[in-house]
């Protein structure tokens, strides 16, 4: 099932890239489009200059069987507004000792939306 999901995601990405490339080609031929529009869309700058971001929040639930944690967090600057959301963790060991209600600081890989570091905040 997971392999099928990854294939579908990869296929969707390729379709989106092709659509943008086609749209950029049409715009690049028009007089009203910036001269470098095609290059900016088809050959974008390296993926997010910032691939890691830090946040702080409260543990809502720990789901070890899925390798996930649900956090209620504040704004993660440059990545996400404040919300409650489940995140995958890069290692099951990150979940050790955490329970609902714990205040935590965490580092998230913004490319993968995966928490790579989490530290309990002592009160």
pLDDT tens, position by position, 18-54: 656 555 555 555 555 555 555 555 555 554 446 999 9
Query: Is 116 a member of any domain?
Result: yes
Q: Return the CATH number at 70.
A: 2.40.50.320
Domain count, the chain: 2
Do residues 66 and 113 share a domain? yes
Q: Average pLDDT in the 98-108 region?
A: 97
User: Which tokens in the block code for residue 40?
Assistant: 């900016």
Query: Is 108 a member of any domain?
Result: yes
Q: How far is CA 14 from the centre of its chain?
A: 18
pLDDT of the residue at 10: 65
Strand, coil or helix: 72: strand
Quickly count: other Cβ atoms within 10 Å of residue 71's Cβ.
24
Do residues 64 and 96 share a domain? yes
Do residues 37 and 89 share a domain? no
> Cβ distance 90 to 114 under 8 Å?
yes
- pTM, two decimal places: 0.59
Query: Is 47 a member of any domain?
Result: no
What is the span of the domain harbouring residue 86?
52-120
Q: Average pLDDT in the 57-85 region?
A: 95
């Amino acid at each position: 099932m997971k392999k099928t999901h990854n294939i579908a995601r990869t296929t969707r990405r390729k379709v989106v890239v092709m659509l943008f490339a086609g749209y950029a080609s049409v715009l690049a031929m028009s007089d009203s489009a910036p001269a470098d529009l095609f290059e900016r869309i088809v050959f974008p700058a390296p993926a997010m200059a910032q691939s890691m971001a830090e946040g702080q929040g409260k543990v809502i639930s720990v789901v070890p069987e899925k390798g996930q944690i649900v956090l209620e967090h504040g704004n993660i600057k440059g990545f996400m507004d404040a919300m409650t959301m489940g995140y995958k963790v890069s290692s099951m060991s990150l979940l050790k000792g955490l329970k609902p209600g714990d205040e935590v600081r965490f580092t998230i890989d913004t490319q993968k939306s995966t928490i790579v570091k989490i530290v309990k905040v002592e009160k």
